[in-house]
Amino acid sequence: MERRVRALRTVLAEKGYIDPAALDVLIDTYERKTGPRNGARVVARAWVDAEFRNWLLRDATAAIASLGYTGRQGEHMVALENTASCHNLVVCTLCSCYPWPVLGLPPTWYKSAPYRARAVKDPRGVLADFGIRLPESTEIRVWDSTAEVRYLVIPQRPPGTDTLSEEQLAACVTRDSMIGTGLARPP
Ligand SMILES: [Co+2]
């Protein structure tokens, strides 16, 4: 695969279809500037700052942009807060829509047909596959991403984290917990 990519890149550059320098900027962006660490900082801020949390729930796009996370596939963000009574799970049933600025590029399973179909039909079964068992009393809401709207799940803050700094809290926030296929982990 690597060789194929390199060959394609060479041909496209030789034909003048792509600018290798521009490609380097793009690759750098997706390797280093976006990714789940961004989303984790958003969640940690929401956990420690009630005003920010309220803003995030009201206008996620603006609240997230205030931390510097903007760009393609993050233009219309909606934040979904998990509670003891309601667990949110995000899928894109049509393709693989995903909030790039806060989570980076989607994991392979997110793009797979089984996940996309089963997340809707059997969300509890999907969660069980990820090792998550929620009480029957917890409602599971499934959100279908579109080309317009992208979702960020705010997982529940783990117990015993009262004394942690915002940075330490961010380390508890996993990528999957922001998709809804996981929970924030204890420190
Ligand atoms: Co899609």
Amino acid 27: pLDDT: 82
Burial class (CB in 10 A: 0-12, 13-18, 19+), 51: exposed
183 CA to centre of ligand 1 in angstroms:
23
Amino acid 125: pLDDT: 96
91 CA to centre of ligand 1 in angstroms:
8
Tens digits of residue pLDDT in 30-68: 777 889 999 999 999 999 999 999 999 999 999 999 999
| pLDDT, average across residues 99-125 | 95
Distance between CA atoms of residues 151 and 102, nearest Å:
10
Amino acid 37: pLDDT: 94
Measure the CA angle with vertex 74, ends 147 and 62; round to 5°: 130
Written as one string, the DSSP assignment of 13-56 is: HHTTSS-HHHHHHHHHIIIIISSHHHHHHHHHHHHH-HHHHHHH
Written as one string, the DSSP assignment of 89-101 is: EEE-SSS----HH
Residues marked active site are found at: 92, 95-97
127 CA to centre of ligand 1 in angstroms:
20
- Checking if the pLDDT of 174 tops 90, the result is yes
Domains of the chain: 1-33 (no CATH), 37-178 (3.90.330.10)
Distance between CA atoms of residues 29 and 79, nearest Å:
23
**Which residues make Cβ contacts (< 8 Å) with residue 71, sequence separation at least 6?**
34, 100, 101
165 CA to centre of ligand 1 in angstroms:
35
- Checking if the pLDDT of 72 tops 90, the result is no
pLDDT band at 116 (very low <50, low <70, confident <90, very high): very high
Backbone torsions φ then ψ of 152, nearest 5 degrees: -125, 120
Mean per-residue pLDDT of the chain: 94
Q: How many other CB atoms sit within 10 Å of the CB of residue 90?
A: 25
Structure tokens at 52: 């920010």
